[in-house]
Amino acid sequence: GPVSTLSRFRGALVAAVVGDCIGGEFEGAEDVPLDRVLQHLSGVEDESRGDGILQYSDDTAMMRCVADSLLTRVGFDEQDMARSFAKEYSLAPGRGYGSGVIQVLRKLASPQLSDVFQPARAQFGGRGSFGNGGAMRVAPFALAFRSAAEVRKYSRLGAMLTHSCSLGYNGAVLQGLAVHLSLQGALSLPQEFINRLISEMEVVEKEDSAQRDAKALNLAEFPYCTRLHRVKELIERSSVSVEEVISELGNGIAALQSVPTAIFCVLHCLEPREGLPERYGGLERTIAYSLALGGDTDTIACMAGAIAGAHYGIEAVPRSWQMSCEGVEEADHLAKRLYKLYQSQ
């Protein structure tokens, strides 16, 4: 039957956490045979297994900060969100943060800091980070704001607290818009979904900062649009290998090499795929497929999970997966509270 909006909200945050926790197993691995992925997933499903709960990483830790700040401040408050990131990092520094962002999180802890965007601007010799750390935590923005314009604006600002390079914050904008559209049921028309993302990103990437950063990094103009066109070509093909996906879209820690990839994973897994168990629904296929790409698996599965969870709803996330992952209950609670905030607007 039709998926309720509340179910979509809960699905988005819960599947993001599940993707992070389950994906952590293969983070940084170059070659992940599908057999190993399926073995890992049947281990997760086996509730009698003894290896305890899978822990979440920086992706979920920061996503919780975003959700919590949006809820307590009833909107975007950069000071509060920055402090929340800094506090979370100081309490649990061992969650697998990127090696650059740690410097920002330390500076954000200083009570003397007046411009909370300044530490991010000082990263990488003033060029700013292009990592996927802004995108991995962005989902709550799509649950807090109703219009695409607001999702675009606040996804960008939220990412700029750590990522001042346009490749970094525009990756967050793209991921935020993908969750936003998915919550509205837009994935029932996949071609239209990807076309809407392309036209949104054409506007975003016309900006001077985007043009300048693309040039400085020796990238083609409109780097996200270029990748989204590749996503479109790949989903139109009858068969596509993991190697082709990795070489066309990437699987790395740069936002450009992971956000379009996560979107591809969701679109590719809307239908049953060879090699994946028939009993799997679309959400399970999406997470499994994300892990099989290797590379930044926790983050790609987290982002693909957020988009897919918003499409399929909470009922599509297997109970056994939810039970095996740290932070699921908290994510579900945050999603329910964000739903109330959203409904009140």
Residues that bind ligand 8NA (CB under 6 A): 27-28, 57-59, 96, 98-101, 124, 127, 129-133, 136, 165, 253, 296, 298-299
Burial 268-297 (b: 16+ CB within 10 A, else e): bbbeeeeebeeebebbbbbbbbbbbbbbbb
Considering the complex, state which of residue 157 and residue 341 has its C-beta at the smaller distance from ligand 8NA. Answer: 157
250 binds, among ligand 8NA, Mg ion, none (CB under 5 to 8 A by kind): none
Return the one option of ligand 8NA, Mg ion, none that residue 260 interacts with (CB less than 5 to 8 A, by type): none
> Residue 99's binding partner, choosing from Mg ion, ligand 8NA, none, with beta-carbon cut-off 5 to 8 A by kind?
ligand 8NA
Q: How far is the CB of 146 from Mg ion (least distance, A)?
A: 29
Which partner from the list ligand 8NA, Mg ion, none does 200 bind, CB cut-off 5 to 8 Å by kind?
A: none
Shortest CB 64 distance to ligand 8NA, Å: 14
Q: By CB under 5 A, is residue 60 in contact with Mg ion?
A: no
Beta carbon nearer to Mg ion, 7 or 290: 290
Q: How far is the CB of 101 from Mg ion (least distance, A)?
A: 11
Which listed option, ligand 8NA, Mg ion, none, makes contact with residue 158 (CB within 5 to 8 Å by class)?
A: none
Our CB check for ligand 8NA shows the closer of 205 and 296 to be: 296
CB of 79 to ligand 8NA, least distance (A): 20
Nearest to ligand 8NA of 144, 293 (CB atom): 293
* Binding partner selected for residue 223 from Mg ion, ligand 8NA, none, CB under the kind-specific 5 to 8 Å limit: none
What φ, ψ does residue 131 adopt, rounded to 5°?
A: -65, 170
Q: Which of residues 297-316 bind Mg ion (CB under 5 A)?
A: 298-299
Give the nearest distance from C-beta 220 to ligand 8NA in angstroms.
17
What type of residue sits at position 21?
Answer: C
Place of tokens 């629904």: 281
| Residue 296 found at the interface with Mg ion (CB under 5 A) | yes
96 near Mg ion (CB under 5 A): yes
Question: Could you list the residues that contact Mg ion (CB under 5 A)?
Answer: 57-59, 96, 296, 298-299
